Chain A
Amino acid sequence: MSGVLDPLRLKAREAKRLLVDGEVSAAELTKVYLDQIAAVEDRVHAYVLVTSDNAAKYSTKIDREMQAMRGPLAGLPVAVKDNMVTEGVTTTCASRILHNYAPVYTATAVRRLWDAHVVMLGKTNLDEFAMGSSTENSGVQVTANPWDLATVPGGSSGGSAAAVAAGEALWALGSDTGGSIRQPAALCGVVGMKPTYGAVSRYGLIAFASSLDQIGPLTRSVYDCALLLRHIVGKDPHDATSVELPFEVELPEGDRLDGLTVGIPGEYLALGIEPGVRARFDETVALVEELGGRCVEISLPHTEYALPAYYIIAPAEASANLARFDGVRYGHRAEGAADLREMYERTRGEGFGAEVKRRIMIGTYALSAGYYDAYYGRAQRVRTMVRRDFARAFEGVDLIVSPTSPTVAFRAGSRTDDPLAMYMSDICTIPANLAGLPALSIPCGLSDGLPVGFQLIGPAFSENRLLGAAHALEGALGFETAPSFRDSSASAVAGEARS
């Protein structure tokens, strides 16, 4: 049966039906993905670690003990971003400083999937400590975008997005601090969602910026997104900032947007959106109206301050969050230091990459005596204003839409020497993190053969509304993902479109 399954197109909803109907076994399904990893991973480099033996064994066990190991997700293979700790499975955060770190516990979100008998395929690549927008800051490897191997998959969840796009995973978990799920989802032509802050426990998510980080799904459809989300949400006694959702995550079915008012923030469209992206965005907005929705222009006046505020708050929190990597208890420790201070300095000097160091420096500076009010204090006030902008806007609209990323996937290496240009990649996604709002990105077409993402932002805890609207739009858009694996930088086209 597995011979006819196309990992580039198979969705979790369908895979689940096949499993339940006995048309495919968990072991066969897992093998589909392990085979695809074997076929394309040397070009995509989505995984930091493929746990093929464990996956094969566990899926076989699920088949054998089907009665005991039931559940709505049982046997569905998943990829996990390598900044979520997994007991006994090396977790590196794509950093040299954790190259040998074997966690002693498992992140709550992952634990919930394990408890539901999901098969973990491996740990996916990311920008080191989730700091970046292209996955080029990984201390392990550079991941390629399956749509054009010469371009980046976005970041920081670039490994998870590329794995799903390349058929190397049925779906995946990512984390989103300033767009780290939505932007790579957009660039790789998959669905990616950042839930309301607090909806998913952060326990076991290696912290980048605690007040902004959220775990969420990267999937091949909105339905799958809802299905995965409903199994990772909920209050966790280990995370004081987590909350119980006041509702069940619904699996979306509708195809209309009647009665829905959608706001289009003028400020977002002034952010240097490239023409191809703008065209797909405008077409999708037109589609919203065709489906019965009403589009209105709105203003989010403090948008231009969101990016600078983010680049104070996130590094400030990161400077403290990453201070624990000191070589004392785990991870890398520099050899031969003469004293404590030298051990600290050399361990961290050797262990962290350039972007991580840059942000630690920025954050440390922003919190320093005499600068706190001018930087961190002011950034927090901006954050409050951004939040108020959204609150005011949501008095008049149900959802807000924008392009997810101002551009399609850019060429590897094209922004690595220009941090500011790289930071601009997240300009449309950062405000939702600052405000703690749920937002998702769906593919809405191609520009120059590369996927374009359409972002929907909702009020806090409007996950069902967001997923419902995204599902209706997805149906109307009819975007069928199938990357070509071409390499625009190579003379010969290396692509292998499995269809």
Chain B
Amino acid sequence: MTAWEPVIGLEMHVELDTETKMFCGCAVTKGDPPNTHTCPVCLAHPGALPVVNQRAVEYATRIALALHCTVPARNVFHRKNYFYPDLPKAYQISQYDEPLAVDGWFEYRVGDETLRCRIDRVHMEEDAAKLVHAGGEAGRIAGSEYSVVDFNRGGTPLIEIVTEPDIPSPAAAREFLQQLRALVIELGVSACSMEEGQIRWDANISVRPAGSDELGTRTELKNMNSFRFLQQALEAELPRQAEVLEAGGRIEQETLHFDPDTGLTTPLRSKEEAHDYRYFPEPDLVPLEMDPAWVEEVRAALPELPAARIERFVTQYGLSRQDASVLGAQRPLAEFYEQVVAQGVDAKPAANWTMGEYLAHLNAAGLEPGHGFVTPERLAKLVALVAEGSISSSAGREVFARMVEDRAEPGEVVETHGLGQISDEAALEELVARVVADNPAQAEQYRGGKQQVLGFFVGQVMKATEGRANPKLVSELLRKALA
């Protein structure tokens, strides 16, 4: 029985958040009435010509540089020819053998491991229009009576990022895409909204005997827009291919459809009937000359990227790589954390509170980092209260919950709910004496050398004070009383 390992490559499409379309001056919008942002160029009227959106080139270059790609001195647009009503020119202006950028890499985390995936290329193109199938069930083409076209989306700048087949597992593919998406968001070039279909991806997968260097025949999963389904689809395709090969069969190079209901992949169309796109250089556009000085400007203006920030969190704040990854992966949470630290509290407890109570609160409330009542100042105050011993950690959690619920300052919560830590030595001494007197057997054990019984006494005192006693002081007093 051969052990099979998957080889996965990904192509990610990202719609850029430029103000205008890739080749004309129409606004890029979401949710406006159909066909309200069109012109002779994006409707492909006779005689209309494309003009490259400079901002889109800048955004694409940002992505390319963040992926450590080489940006050649020039790139060339090509026409990709096929007929479909969502493609008014009947060709898509895309890039082919001279793309914007080549040969980069992206590092991403899977569990404790950092994996590096080579990036084959980053190129620019335009999005198609949106087809709406009417008269059938649930907007599907099958059974619909007619279709209408909304050209508002047609011509939106689109970036395609193509990886080398370096991704070792379905789970890694999912991590890769999620972290790449976070990077693109970080770069400020696209919100990468999943609902609005701003990012879509294709995956290709082949299997080979574990340890082999050869690449098998691959199948393709096209136009996916859910991380979960991608992982599921790849997980379904992997044993399917292995089974075919085990049985002495041959993998057909084909495009597959994944049905999340059945969990199965089924052929959509085979490569033999695939389009011949008849690529040729777009004669309406001159090759784009990339001024190296301009490229360097774009590089210098790149924001701090997640990988670098995680590294900085480890060195600057002394966080574990694990914690730094949680806090540093996305800018909004990272910024929130750094603002908490900036209030003068220690970095480690600040990290624990941010990753613990705060993140749980965000998830429960469906909030983005930095939004809602819990500001960095308020969380920092809470962290400080715990740090200076005014409240215990467990009381701190309660203060956090009440702070959110009552929209009250942490200090007020401590006061109104009497959550302050009892550090009054006289009061505690009395209590300690009573607990020792009430449990003579355990006291005997302790005196007889069984040190761990101390924990039992601490627990009794905490119980009596509803957890508010200063545990350090309690231990001290107990040792004295039991001596």
Binding site for B on A (CB under 8 A): 84-85, 91, 93, 98, 101, 103-105, 107, 202-207, 209-211, 237-241, 316-317, 319-320, 323-326, 328-330, 340, 344, 364, 367-369, 372, 376
Contacts and interface: CB of A to CB of B under 8 A. Distances in A.
Interface string B34-48: 000000100111111
Contact of A206 (B47, B79, B149): B47
25 contacts: A85-B46, A93-B46, A103-B40, A103-B47, A107-B47, A202-B47, A204-B47, A206-B46, A210-B283, A238-B49, A238-B51, A239-B49, A240-B49, A241-B286, A320-B81, A323-B83, A323-B89, A323-B91, A324-B46, A324-B88, A324-B89, A326-B90, A329-B45, A368-B276, A369-B276
Contacts, number: 101
A314 B259 CA distance: 45
A270 B89 CA distance: 42
Interface in B455-473: none
Contact of B284 (A105, A210, A325): A210
Contact of B286 (A240, A329, A340, A364): A240
Given A85-B46, A367-B279, 4 more contacts: A206-B47, A241-B49, A241-B284, A329-B44
Q: Tell me whether chain A's interface is mostly helix, strand or loop, or mixed.
A: loop
Contacts of A344: 83
B278 interface: yes
A209 B85 CA distance: 23
A240 B50 contact: yes
Contacts of A105: 40, 45, 48
Contacts of A207: 46-47, 284
Given A98-B46, A326-B83, A104 B52 contact: no
A93 B83 CA distance: 22
Nearest to B40: A105
B47 A85 contact: yes
Interface in B41-71: 43-52
Given A240-B284, A240-B285, A328-B149, A202 B40 contact: no
B358 interface: no
B106 interface: no
A104 B88 CA distance: 16
A111 B50 CA distance: 18
B77 to A, nearest CB: 10
Contact of A320 (B45, B49, B90): B90
Nearest to B278: A367
A368 B44 CA distance: 23
A367 B149 CA distance: 29
Contacts of A324: 44, 46, 88-90
Nearest to A316: B280
Given A210-B284, A241-B286, A326-B83, A203 B47 contact: yes
A340 B286 CA distance: 34
A488 B49 CA distance: 44
A325 B89 CA distance: 8
A110 B51 CA distance: 20
Contacts of B285: 240-241
Contacts of B283: 209-211, 241, 317
Nearest to B50: A240
Contact of A328 (B50, B85, B276): B85
